[in-house]
Amino acid sequence: MSIKSIIVDDEPKSRSNLRDLLSEYCKQVQIVGEAASAIEALKLVKQVNPDIVFLDIEMPGGSGFDLLKSLNDQQFEVVFVTAFDKYGIQAVKFCAIDYLLKPIDIFELSKAVEKASIQINRKKENQRLAELVANIDRPDEEKRLALPLADKIEFVVINHIVRIEADGNYTRIFIEGSKEYLVCKTLKEYHEILEPYGFIRTHQSHLINCRKISAYVKTDGGYILLDGGGNVPISRQKKEEVLKKIINTSRNSI
């Protein structure tokens, strides 16, 4: 799992050193931004929504603690990185996941990232479970599907999915409005999940939402035109089953 992080430190050398250490020893950490002050960091946090913030404490114009106080809803984990050891108790009060002293010890850095990863995964799993529970009370047209992406779990309304296509060990999920996701799950798994919601496998590599069909074309062996202009083939073995499902879906939606 990729972990989005930002580095907040007023010293360019310190940022560069931490960036190099993370790149070498914590490859799951993706640095998506850097800031030289609490003010810059505040804007950056809102822009990139990081999982971890590596945060210096003493900076001109506002401390790392000032940054945290200015955030109403802190969604990320904090790893304080400082040259001074007098802030340990304060760092704990601010719910830091860890507290690293400069010069940074590689082992301590790796431990801090591991602890943060556990918390991040727990939060994402809790979010997924909360969505699962919420789905129970939703009508079918509002139910959502959790998509495990590289850096987050995305929740999409099932009825907004137009089609799903196999891509090796991955699947590509196409959403209304030309949005597309690449997910590390097989087409077979999504077929099992989505079949009760009007999805049908037209081909070894294709799963479609029957409610998004605009036409069935009989020529060229037969294929399906979908809302938005895409088309998918129908395998010879599945043609009868697909046509039956399309007819039943049309009757049920009238």
The pLDDT tens digits of the residues spanning 60-115 come to 888 888 888 888 777 888 999 988 777 665 665 556 778 888 899 999 999 999 98
pLDDT of residue 224: 86
Q: Is 163 helix (H, G, I), strand (E, B) or coil?
A: strand
Number of Cβ within 10 Å of residue 136's Cβ equals 7
Q: Domain spans of the chain?
A: 3-124, 138-253
The CA distance from 184 to 148, in Å, is 7
pTM score of the predicted model: 0.56
With 50 as the cut, is the pLDDT of residue 38 above it? yes
pLDDT of residue 151: 66
With 90 as the cut, is the pLDDT of residue 138 above it? no
Highest mean pLDDT among 3-7, 79-83, 164-168: 3-7
Sheet holding 213-217, edge to edge: 213-217, 223-226, 231-233
Query: Rg of the chain's alpha carbons, rounded to an integer?
Result: 24
Fold for the domain defined by 3-124: Rossmann fold (3.40.50)
The answer to whether 58 touches 143, Cβ cutoff 8 Å, is: no
Q: CA nearest 176: which of 165, 164, 163, 160?
A: 160
**Distance from chain centroid for Cα 4:** 10
List strand residue ranges (DSSP E) for 170-251, in order.
170-175, 179-183, 199-203, 206-209, 213-217, 223-226, 231-233
What integer best gives the mean pLDDT of the chain? 84
Quote the tokens at residue 205.
């590599």
The answer to whether 75 touches 120, Cβ cutoff 8 Å, is: no
Q: What is the CATH number of domain 138-253?
A: 2.40.50.1020
Interval 152-158 mean pLDDT: 85
With 60 as the cut, is the pLDDT of residue 251 above it? no
